[in-house]
Each structure stands twice: as C-alpha cells, then as structure tokens.
Structure 1
Amino acid sequence: MNLDTPIPDRVEKPTLIYPFESAPQPGQSLEVVPGVLWMRLSLPMALDHINVWALQDEGGWAVVDTGMRNETTIAAWQGLLTGLPQPQPLTRVLVTHMHPDHVGMAGALTRQFHCRLWMTRQEYLHCRVLAADTGRQAPDDAISFLQRAGWGEVAIQNYRARFGHFGKYIHPMPDSYRRMQDGEDIRIGEHVWRVIVGTGHSPEHACLYCPDLKLLISGDQVLPRISSNVSVHPTEPDANPMQDWLASLAKLRREVPDDVLVLPSHNECFRGLHARLDYLMASQKRSLDRLHKTLKEPRRVVDVFTTLFGRRIDESDAGLLNLATGESVACLNYLVSQGLVRQTLDDKGVAHYQMR
C-alpha cells in the first residue's frame, strides 16, 4: 500500500454480525458448531479476556491458545477440562503466536497431558529467546532505542525495572514442538484446518481456516472491535512490520472467503470478514497519511502520539507508553521505507522525522 491512491474523507465502520447473544463466562464453554467450543479466560489488564477454542479431535480435544500464566488461569483450565461435554484428554495444544496471553499455559498443558505443542517456527523460537531474558538487565541497545525515540529518564528507569518479565507470564516452554507452516492442511478430528500465516503483529502468526465448517480462527490478526498492535521492537529497530501487517490483511482477504464465521482472540465471534479487513486497511492508510502531513516540521517519535492515537501518553504509564512507541516507530519506518520521510539524529542521538 502506498499513499498515492485516493484516500476517502471518512472511513465508515462496517456493520458486522454477531450471531451469539453473549460470550461464555470465564471458565465456561459455548458450542460454536458441533465439535468446536468457545471458551474465555480472564486477563489481568485493560483487555480483560482472551478467547480460546477446543476442537473435537480423535481421542480427545485439541485446544487453540491457552491464556496467560497466573493462578486464576490455572484454576479456570481445571474447571474447563472437567466441564467439557465429553471429558477427554487434550490431544495437542496449538498456539497462534507467542504473546503471553496466547502461549502462557502451553507448557503446563502439554506436560499435564503428554501432548505436543504446535506452533510456527518463528513464534516458538522467538518465545524461547524472550523467555531467556528473564532476570537480565535491560541491554544497552534497548536503552539506545528508547532514547532515540525521545523517552525521558523517568520512563527509561521504569523500563529498566520492568525488563525481563516476559518469562514470568508463561510456563516454561516444551523443549520440542510440531512446526506449523503456511498453507499446511492439518486434520483435527473429522475436519481439515488450513494454516494461514500473517505477520506484523507478531513474527509468524498462524490463523486456522476450516472450509468445511466455514470457520476462521483469526487469533490477533483480525479483531472485530479493536485493531491489533503493530510495533517495532528494540531487537530489530529498522523493521517494517506495518508493511507486513498490511500485506497480511490483504492476504487474508484473498485466501479466506467472506462467508466464514470469524473466531477472534478478543471480543466476540463475528461475520463480515472482508468488510472488517477493508476497514482496517483503509483506516491504517488514513492514519499514515495524517502522520505524513504532520511531518512538515521535524518531530520525534514521542511527538506523534497525539496524531496517531488522539491523546497524549503519560510517561508514567509504562505499558501504554511502550505500545505507543512501538506502533509509532512502525508507522514512521513505513513512511521512511516509502521514501516519503527522512530520519536524522540530533547531537543527543534523538531521531527526528520530516517529510521529504
């Protein structure tokens, strides 16, 4: 996507269809179609839940995503497993991507049931790398990245205090796994699910599409009410995940028909996939165009928060500041890659971005 094509004055939100009156209560399940269960787990954050899925398999249940490691989730899983319509063991654990709310309980469940973890290679390895940072001090490269973005000393000290906590939110990963690959067909019980990999939100995110059931387990690649965070991280400061993200949305539109019921990781199951994808792409394009127009004068990363998010971000809100910084750098790196913006460093090493 480039900014040369016409941009509508307004991007109207599509009218999506939500076929279920309510979501299952945490620790309970709801049948989406025969053999597919919707379950919801609590999260200790503003986004207070994650949807996970149980698929009837030969000899038991395959589950997709697992929730974050904490005592509440551990107790909820025990209730879910005993409350399944046919209480049977787990046959495998499939994880869409490596964020803690998705992979957090994978190690515990695979060990409990002596079953295999299924993930894409980049997600599995990336998760292992981040878990290995547990207990480390924040590296100099990360501090330089944040200083370059314009963070002040208070924010950087907060980052130092929080660094290396990833491993606390996940059970130790299994030492082996079954790799999922883009385009692969996986038989689970009576049905075949196709792996459709997307990037941008995470390195190699797996969606699962079942043509027979007309279902798409979308993970975080497409959500009905919120947009997924697309960030540049200190480990790869020159990355262009926004380009990957936009390409992945277009790929999903090509490869998955519009008549599916979408089973997302957050919010509710919905119909209207193509309209939602069109909205997400058009909305992001408008944000990029709006950002580009504000760069007539040089701006730091921390100066564009209001343009992109419509609000100031307080540096004392460490989690939100981190997300806003990562996504702002992703937008700026995209504009740089398109030749629309240049980046320069001042004598303190702070990056400034300006329209070419």
Structure 2
Amino acid sequence: MADGVGDPENLRGLTYPWVAPEPGGTLEVAPGVLWLRLALPMALNHVNVWALADGDGWTVVDTGIQTPATVAHWEQALDGSLGGRPVWRVVCTHMHPDHIGLAGWLCDRFDAPLLMTRLEYVTARMLVADTGPAPASVEIFCRAAGWETGQIEVNRRRYGQFGRSVAPLPSSFQRLTEGDVLSIDGRAWRVVAGDGHSPEHACLWREEDGVFISGDQILPRISSNVSVWPTEPDADPLGDWLRSIDKLAGLLPDDLLVLPSHGEPFCGVKTRLEQLRRGHDVALRRLERTLARPCRALDVFPALFARPVDDGLLGMATGEAVAHLNYLLRQGRVERRRDADGVDWWRTTDHGADT
C-alpha cells in the first residue's frame, strides 16, 4: 500500500508488518523511527538505515555505501521527509562499507560526531588505509583454500576496494560499549554488542516499547556472513557468532520489533535466533560428513551453501568455509595438513587408520 503498511506476512514463524519504502523515501515504523532503504551495487541490493527523531534534528543509524546513487538518495531524504533538519549524531553499527560508507560525508556535512564501538572504528580505519599492494599473506591464504592462480591474480588487482567504498572517516569518534545508554529525544536506547560477523557489532534497544535495531547481527531472511580473512587466518569467528546468538536468545524478549539492515522489520526474534543457530549446526554436521575424506576449503562449498559459488562470491564463500573449518579445528573435530604447494587439506580426526 502507499503508506507502507501491508498485511502481516508469516514466513517461517516470523511476521513482517511493513512494506519497504522506495530508495530515497522514508517510512515511520515506530514512534520517532524512520526507515530509509538505500541501494547497493551488488547481489544484496539494499541496506536499511534508520533516522531517529532527536529534538529538532536526527540521530542517524548507519549510512549506506559511498556511491553517487546513495548520495542522491540521502539528498532526497534530507531535503524531503527529514524536513531539512540537521543530523546531530551518526551511529554506525559496524565497520562494513554498506554501514559506514557515508558516515564521514554526513559527519562533515552537519559537523556531527561519529559513534561506534572501539574495535569497529579502529578496524575500519585500518582497512580504509590498507590500499595495497596486496600483502603476501593474501596470496598465502587464498592458495591454502585451493584458489587457482588466475583467481588469486584477480583478487590481487581488486585489493583495496574497501577504502574506495568509504568516504574519509572522521579522525575521532565517541566510543560505544556494551550496556551504554544513549538518550535520543528523551528516550533510552541500550547498546547490545555482538560478535562474529564483525568484531564488536553494536545493536540498539529501546526497551520501553520493544524496538531493536539489529544491524547485521540478526537478519530475517539470510544468515550474516561469518568469515575468516587473511589478516587473522586462524580466527574463530563462528565460535564468537554462536556465543552471540546464545547471548541474544537469553537476553531479548520475543515481542520486539526488530529493525534489520537487510530485509524487512520483523517480529519473532527468538524464533529467528533459533533458526540461525540450527542452520549453523546443520551445516557443521554436513561439513563433518564431507570431511570423511581430505578436502580443501573450496571443496566444502556444497556442504555449506545452497547455490553455486561464482567468482563474485568466492572471497566471502571462502571466508565462511574457513570459519566453519577453524571452528571444528578448535574443537578437535578436524585436522589440517598443508601440502608442498601451500594448499590446506582438512579431514575429520576420527577417520581411522586408512589414508
């Protein structure tokens, strides 16, 4: 419908009370909370950001990626449904470009402070500055996963893409930490931190009326990417992610309106957290069955992903595969052997005496 309200849709136990606004438009989904949907130039073609009424201005949560189209959508919203009122603060849930891409642009435009957790801000500053050339660790990581020489070369040429998607970040920030309370328009928003998708992801919870800005920590229709990257090849982000899911399942009531960064606002957070936990558990069981014989990271994609992985998704798929493999390695359920060509071969530890 024109006002964005549709018949609630119950899909896999979740209820979706709203239809998305057009890019550049807004929709009020809770008192003082406006939903903006911005375009992304990738398969995941949108990101949701939020404008929270704050006195005679706004606190903005997340910003979209740095592209001319996103800037145009912001200009349309700022001059239109946001009423030409100033942005007092910019809050970023985490450091991925679709969330911080225009943070610096908005902060500069309105002389507004940037609010983030420390690990997210520091990691973003590091990645923006890391423009290349690609370090040797990138090739080592990709070769270990089983990439071909041509794929490694393409990845080397693309190195530094992160910084090109992000406007210059402010040189200072205001730190958010778990349990902090932000007063926005006289209402309290509690910071709830998560881990796994990014190092110190900040969600915002308005407990008085059950509104929860989840960022990428809880998404309704897809599972957030949980990846290992060449900067920390032995990391265990999946372990961090599963602990965060368990934490949120124990903390959050089921009657929240969840405002995610992708997809639509939904109700049924406990059901969704159970689905996310179960999905990874099932994937890990499939992965262990696959590893009854030695495999490279590339070889386990069918056990983890429902669709074929093309070169455009190769980096994220590899990162997620290694995250699952590292999780099992930490638990002693698999072993890893690197051959003379620098390729890692993974296998379950209970394969017996056969080779």
Cross-structure match for 1:83: 80
Cross-structure match for 1:65: 62
**Distance (whole Å) between structure 2 residues aligned to residue 53 and residue 46 of structure 1:** 22
TM-score (normalised: structure 2): 0.94
Cross-structure match for 1:344: 337
Cross-structure match for 1:130: 127
Q: Which of 243, 249, 268 is equivalent to 2:245? A: 249
- The answer (yes or no) to whether the contact 1:14–1:279 under 8 Å persists in 2 is no
Cross-structure match for 1:182: 178
**Distance (whole Å) between structure 1 residues aligned to residue 330 and residue 27 of structure 2:** 45
**Distance (whole Å) between structure 2 residues aligned to residue 274 and residue 171 of structure 1:** 36
Q: Which of 261, 285, 291 is equivalent to 1:289? A: 285
- The answer (yes or no) to whether the contact 1:37–1:54 under 8 Å persists in 2 is yes
Q: Which of 120, 123, 126 is equivalent to 2:117? A: 120
- 1:144 aligns to what SS in structure 2? helix
**Distance (whole Å) between structure 2 residues aligned to residue 251 and residue 188 of structure 1:** 25
Cross-structure match for 1:273: 269
Cross-structure match for 1:15: 13
Q: Does 1:321 align with 2:314?
A: yes
Q: Which of 298, 304, 312 is equivalent to 2:300? A: 304
Cross-structure match for 1:6: none
Q: Which of 38, 46, 56 is equivalent to 1:49? A: 46
Closer/same/farther in 2, CA of residues 312 and 28 from structure 1, 3 Å limit: closer
Cross-structure match for 1:95: 92
Identical columns (%)? 52
Q: Which of 118, 139, 144 is equivalent to 1:148? A: 144
The number of residue pairs the alignment matches comes to: 339
- The answer (yes or no) to whether the contact 1:209–1:256 under 8 Å persists in 2 is no
- The answer (yes or no) to whether the contact 1:70–1:169 under 8 Å persists in 2 is yes
1:241-288: CA deviation from partner (whole Å, max 9, x where unpaired): 000001111111122211100000001000000000001101110100
**Distance (whole Å) between structure 2 residues aligned to residue 221 and residue 173 of structure 1:** 23
Q: Which of 153, 162, 165 is equivalent to 1:166? A: 162
Shift of 1:84: 2.8
What residue identity is the alignment partner of 1:104?
G
1:298-326: CA deviation from partner (whole Å, max 9, x where unpaired): 11111101111134434xx2x30001100
- The answer (yes or no) to whether the contact 1:208–1:216 under 8 Å persists in 2 is yes
Q: Choose between structure 1 and 2 for higher RCO, CA contacts under 8 A separated by at least 6 residues.
A: 1
1:156-179: CA deviation from partner (whole Å, max 9, x where unpaired): 011011001111101000000000
**Distance (whole Å) between structure 2 residues aligned to residue 312 and residue 39 of structure 1:** 32
**Distance (whole Å) between structure 1 residues aligned to residue 306 and residue 266 of structure 2:** 27
**Distance (whole Å) between structure 1 residues aligned to residue 326 and residue 191 of structure 2:** 29
Gaps of 5+ in 2: 1-10, 350-355
What residue identity is the alignment partner of 1:15?
G
Q: Which of 302, 309, 323 is equivalent to 1:330? A: 323
Once the two structures are superposed, the pairs formed by residues 28-43 of structure 1 within 5 Å of their partners are 28-43=25-40
- The answer (yes or no) to whether the contact 2:30–2:211 under 8 Å persists in 1 is no
**Distance (whole Å) between structure 2 residues aligned to residue 109 and residue 160 of structure 1:** 31
Gaps of 5+ in 1: 1-12
Shift of 1:348: 1.1
Shift of 1:86: 4.3
Cross-structure match for 2:196: 200
Cross-structure match for 1:3: none
